[in-house]
Amino acid sequence: MGVEELAGRLVSWIQEKVHESGCQGVVLGLSGGLDSAVVAALCKQAFPENSLGLIMPCHSNPRDAADAELVARSLALPTKTVVLDGVYNALVEALRGSPYVPGERSLALANIKPRLRMTALYYWANQLNYLVVGTGNKSEVTVGYFTKYGDGGVDILPLANLVKAQVRELARHLNIPETIINKPPSAGLWEGQTDEGEMGLTYAVLDRYLLTGEAPPAAAKRIDELIARSRHKRQLPATPPF
């Protein structure tokens, strides 16, 4: 399937899922990264008048919000900015009884950020009768590189069958700004954090393994372990078989 046909089919699929749900449009988190930019472009084509991007900084690098705004301007996509710093600080202090210290690196703390963003997205989805559109791609979803009930808490995932390289190709077809396409992928969990550093894999190796089954032995073992450990993230909660 060519990239033009793929884009068209994804736009139609988004429209179909929204209409099936009895909803009026779509809302998505606009992070300033490649995946959210591609999803934003598809959503804007699917629902030109009923698409909303939320920019949700939470102790984030200011460049991310600036990049998100760049994407929104390039697509003429309406946005709302929801600053989550104060909510995050209050929740962290309530949970552990001590204030958040800037620069702390804790996965338990970092995962609060996407879970707060999920809450904000569903607020606006409920207000507007929209579906929440996720931005995860196949590379991330397969190895569990997402936060359960955070960025994994969505209604539809248009990119879930595309590896990162395919998303990048789609981005060029959709005229996403080159600065966004070339930006190192990051979930913005803490300063300097990158997807590849966190996974311990490059997207090139991961994509190739998912598409062909080929990878250096150590990388293949790492990927298989990540898939197994994150299986619970891709399934409904387990229930007893009786």
Cβ burial of 163 (10 Å; 0-12, 13-18, 19+) is buried
pLDDT score recorded for residue 188: 64
pLDDT score recorded for residue 197: 73
Q: How far apart are CA 113 and CA 150, in angstroms?
A: 8
Quickly tell me which residue has 């990878």 as its tokens. Answer: 215
Give residue-wise pLDDT tens across range 70-104. Answer: 999 999 999 999 999 999 999 999 999 999 988 88
**41 closest CA partner among 75, 7, 76, 87:** 75
Contact 35, 28 (CB under 8 A): no
The strand pair at 51-55 and 130-132 is best described as unpaired
In the 8-state DSSP scheme, what is residue 133?
B
The DSSP H or E segment spanning 80 is: strand 79-81
Put simply, whether the predicted model's pTM sits higher than 0.85 gets the answer yes
pLDDT score recorded for residue 194: 73
Q: How far apart are CA 84 and CA 208, in angstroms?
A: 37
**End-to-end Cα, the chain, rounded Å:** 44
pLDDT score recorded for residue 193: 66
Question: What domains are defined for the chain?
Answer: 3-195 (3.40.50.620)
pLDDT score recorded for residue 214: 96
- The ranges of the chain with pLDDT < 50 are none
